[in-house]
Amino acid sequence: MELMEIGTEVFVKGKGRGILALNNEDGTWNVEFYDDGAEGDFYEEDLMPLEDLVRRWSPAGARVVPAPWTSPRPEGWTRFVCFSDTHGLHQLIPKDHMPPADVLLHAGDFTNTGELEQIESFNEWLEAYPAEQKLVIAGNHDITLQEDYYRSRGASRFHRGVPYDCSKARPLLKGCSYLEDTSVEVRGYQIYGSPWQPEFFDWAFNLPRGEELRQKWSAIPPDTDLLLVHGPPAGHVDMTSRAGRVGCQDLQEAVHQRSISVVVSGHLHSAYGTDADEVTLYVNASTCTEQYNPTHKPIVFDLPPAHELREATKKAALERKEGKLQL
Ligand code: MN
Ligand code: MN
């Protein structure tokens, strides 16, 4: 494994992710693991550079496309383009960050605080986007989309004096399928969307960690291929500079109990990027940076035909369950 050097991020078969700390020069490397400070020596054949795992393929065949303008999707595959956390700034997204795709996904926080003018303008942007189908969920900032929250607390907290008529919010999203704890089938893929996230200063679609979130995630249908959520699951694309990993543990358990090919999220702007485990590709598509500039490129991935994807993902999930991890 010529390309490996100290400092390379690797996936260790059966163990998880770590970093190469030392070449033992006997065919093994010393690996330090991220989360718990553990370390150990492993044979090269049990190591795979994380970059290879994420960029080239996931076991299920989902393929991240770093240069969508110049890499056409393979015949019979479907191209997804993912945005999130555009926060009312969609008009400032550069044109070269808007590659054509078959399906556009937006993982929530399309407004600053649910302003109806922003929803209307976002809908115009969506309608003009060169994608056949567009799927959108809300985030904690899209406060007019959660009527009971908005009426009881959101309006008085954020729109003092002149509240919006929040019954008008959802009908403004005409140019997309809006998912809220619902599924849609697109080109044979089962896609489930849900806006909920662990509570954080009493925003919309907040729930306490534990039982209440577990209940929401228990509604994810077992045949889901692609999950669109606002906040990421724990352990993947959920790193923050101030508080470490803050993703939802309950969501991660729900993902592990199923065979889901791709999880698309946003919410934690600092965790923009992609990651993978043995079964699932994880995307954090936050378009806005931590400073709320909409300059992150959308994340683009291609999926093989639905039946192929599902078969490969089920096989990988089964192997994980039986402890026969395959990289
Ligand atoms: Mn956000
Ligand atoms: Mn958010």
Distance 304 CA to ligand 2 centre (A): 30
Res 159: pLDDT: 95
pTM for the full predicted model: 0.87
What confidence tens digit (pLDDT) does each residue in 271-315 have? Answer: 999 998 888 999 999 999 999 999 999 999 999 999 999 999 998
- Which residues share a beta bridge with 266? none
Distance 140 CA to ligand 2 centre (A): 5
Distance 139 CA to ligand 1 centre (A): 7
Distance 230 CA to ligand 1 centre (A): 9
Distance 108 CA to ligand 2 centre (A): 7
Q: Bigger pLDDT: 239 or 14?
A: 239
| Per-residue pLDDT at 45 exceeds 90 | no
Q: How far apart are CA 133 and CA 19, in angstroms?
A: 39
Q: Kindly write down the DSSP assignment for every residue of 278-321, as one continuous string.
A: SS-EEEE-B-S-TT----SPPEEEEE--HHHHHHHHHHHHHHHH
Name the strand (E) or helix (H) holding 231. none
* DSSP code of residue 252: H
Distance 122 CA to ligand 1 centre (A): 15
Cα 94 to the center of its chain, rounded Å: 21
Q: How far apart are CA 106 and CA 134, in angstroms?
A: 8
Distance 184 CA to ligand 1 centre (A): 24
Is there a contact between 301 and 65 (Cβ–Cβ < 8 Å)? yes
Q: Is 44 helix (H, G, I), strand (E, B) or coil?
A: helix
- Ligand nearest to the CA of residue 288, numbered in listed order: 1
Distance 142 CA to ligand 1 centre (A): 10
Neighbours of 159 (CB within 10 A): 17
- Check residue 253 and give left, alpha or beta (phi > 0: left; psi -120 to 50: alpha): alpha
Q: How far apart are CA 44 and CA 27, in angstroms?
A: 6
Distance 72 CA to ligand 1 centre (A): 30
Q: How far apart are CA 181 and CA 213, in angstroms?
A: 12
- What share of the chain has pLDDT > 90, as a percent? 78
What confidence tens digit (pLDDT) does each residue in 132-182 have? Answer: 999 999 999 999 999 999 999 999 999 998 899 999 999 999 999 999 999
Is there a contact between 114 and 166 (Cβ–Cβ < 8 Å)? yes
- Ligand nearest to the CA of residue 89, numbered in listed order: 1
What confidence tens digit (pLDDT) does each residue in 203-215 have? Answer: 999 999 999 999 9
Task: Look up residue 148 and give its two tokens.
Answer: 């009971």
Task: Look up residue 270 and give its two tokens.
Answer: 């600092």
| Per-residue pLDDT at 129 exceeds 90 | yes
- Ligand nearest to the CA of residue 230, numbered in listed order: 2
- pLDDT mean over 197-204: 95
Neighbours of 67 (CB within 10 A): 8
Band of residue 326 on the pLDDT scale cut at 50, 70, 90: very low
- Ligand nearest to the CA of residue 87, numbered in listed order: 1
Per-residue CA distances from 55 to 52, 192, 194 (Å)? 5, 24, 26
Distance 269 CA to ligand 1 centre (A): 6
Res 277: pLDDT: 86
Q: Bigger pLDDT: 324 or 93?
A: 93
Distance 44 CA to ligand 2 centre (A): 40
Task: Look up residue 149 and give its two tokens.
Answer: 């929250």
Distance 141 CA to ligand 2 centre (A): 6
Res 1: pLDDT: 47
Distance 311 CA to ligand 2 centre (A): 33
Distance 255 CA to ligand 2 centre (A): 20
Task: Look up residue 263 and give its two tokens.
Answer: 């999880």
Distance 267 CA to ligand 1 centre (A): 4
Distance 85 CA to ligand 2 centre (A): 7
